[in-house]
Amino acid sequence: MGKLITLDEFIYQRQKDFPFSTGELSGLLRDIGVASKIINREVNKAGLVDITGLTGEVNVQGEAVQKLDEFADATLIDCLRNSGEACGYASEEQDSFHTISTFDNANAKYIVLFDPLDGSSNIDVNVSIGTIFAIYRRKTDAGECKLGDFLQRGRELVAAGYVIYGSSTMLVYTTGNGVNGFTLDPSIGEFCLSHPDIRIPEEGNMFSTNIGYYSFYPEYVKDYIRFCMDETEDKKPYSLRYIGSFVADFHRNLIKGGIFMYPASKQQPEGKLRLMYECNPLAFLVEQAGGRATTGTRDILDIYPDELHQRVPLFIGSKHMVDMIETYCTDAILQTG
Ligand code: AHG
Ligand code: MN
Ligand code: MN
């Protein structure tokens, strides 16, 4: 077995790759790692303590809030507040963004957006869930954060990643120099490097979408799904794999190859997934791993955001598969004019 490299050691080693780095981003990544270990501890015993089920509240998304959503949200906020490296945050569970106005954080230069718990509907049925985070430099110089600090294109991301609470707990992140995955070793309480330099296969044979919405999808999406299911001389039918947790579906496709699709539909004209803390961070990460992410007509990372919780249609995963559905989409537009 190779040398055990913990997340902290790895971050410290990579920090030396940036001669002018001052360790602030490293500190922020470490603190997000701590928050995910605390969340993991509650996720692993959710069924035993009264932390599953609903709070009875509805969030800004109009979705029922799970107790574990709130716990994860509060844990991340506390860790960011204690880190001294973030001057503000925005969360799926918070109506608006927040400035962290403690003395230590006032001069911090990073802001963090996060989905504290992705796949909440799966909590009570013991299916993998996750946390997604996105880190930008603030645009304003100091003081109270402004909306413009948060509404930045994905191309401006400094770092992004996710944690998947599954058969094992993994943290996967990028700072724009490749993608690396760390598996939590509960016996020592450390994330250890387990998947160095992750590359997504350019081709895959799995597709992920909620096929229950098939009749609501645009024709070009139906055409592509039929292509996935077709058998031809040089193609076997692809497997449909859909967990209902974006992080879990994404992670499987990142490792094995595949495409995840949450298109616009009659019922959801902008799709469902949120640009700022679901689509952008994973689009940044998948591009770093050699994959792609598009709305069907534009790269996700090129979108200038209009609002914090905006939704976008999403096709993300293996490059050749995403290229293909993008061709289906643009051909459909050319045909309809
Ligand atoms: P969240 O739990 O953060 O609201 O995200 C749930 C998302 C995403 O994780 C998943 O891919 C998608 O909702 C599933 O939506 P459907 O149930 O409509 O398929
Ligand atoms: Mn989510
Ligand atoms: Mn969520």
Index of the ligand 1 atom closest to the CA of residue 249: 11
Cross-strand partners of 208 = 260
| DSSP type of residue 83 | H
Ligand 1 atom 11 nearest Cα: 246
For ligand 1, the distance from its centroid to the CA atom of residue 133, given in whole angstroms, is: 16
Q: Given the CA of residue 117, which atom of ligand 1 is nearest to it?
A: 3
**If you measure from the C-alpha of residue 282 to the centroid of ligand 3, how many angstroms do you get, rounded to a whole number?**
14
Task: Give the pocket of ligand 1 (CB within 6 Å).
Answer: 63, 92, 115, 118-120, 210, 244-246, 272
Looking at all shown ligands, the one closest to residue 63's CA atom is 1
Nearest by Cα to 29 from 158, 200, 121, 153: 158
CA of 142 to the centre of ligand 3 (A): 29
How many whole angstroms from 276 Cα to the centroid of ligand 3?
12
Atom of ligand 1 nearest to the CA of 115: 3
Residue 241 carries which side chain, given as an amino acid letter?
A: R
Q: Whose CA is nearest to atom 14 of ligand 1?
A: 244
Please tell me the distance from the alpha carbon of residue 9 to that of residue 11, in angstroms, as a whole number: 6
231 CA to middle of ligand 2, Å? Answer: 33
List the pLDDT tens digit at each of the 337 positions of the chain: 578 999 999 998 888 776 667 788 888 999 999 999 999 998 887 666 655 666 667 677 777 666 888 999 999 999 999 888 999 999 999 999 999 988 777 789 999 999 999 998 898 888 999 999 999 999 999 889 999 999 999 999 999 999 999 999 999 999 999 999 999 999 999 999 999 999 999 999 999 999 999 999 999 999 999 999 999 999 999 999 999 999 999 999 999 999 999 999 989 999 999 999 999 999 999 999 999 999 999 999 999 999 999 999 999 999 999 999 999 999 999 988 7
Cα atoms in the 13 Å half-sphere on the side-chain side of 287: 19
The answer to whether 243 and 249 are in contact (CB under 8 A) is yes
Residues in a beta bridge with 206: 239
CA of 117 to the centre of ligand 3 (A): 4
| Residue 196, SS3 per DSSP | coil
- The pTM assigned to this predicted structure is 0.95
Residue nearest to atom 19 of ligand 1 (CA): 210
Best mutation site among 67, 114, 272 for ligand 1, i.e. most ligand atoms within 8 A of its Cβ?
272
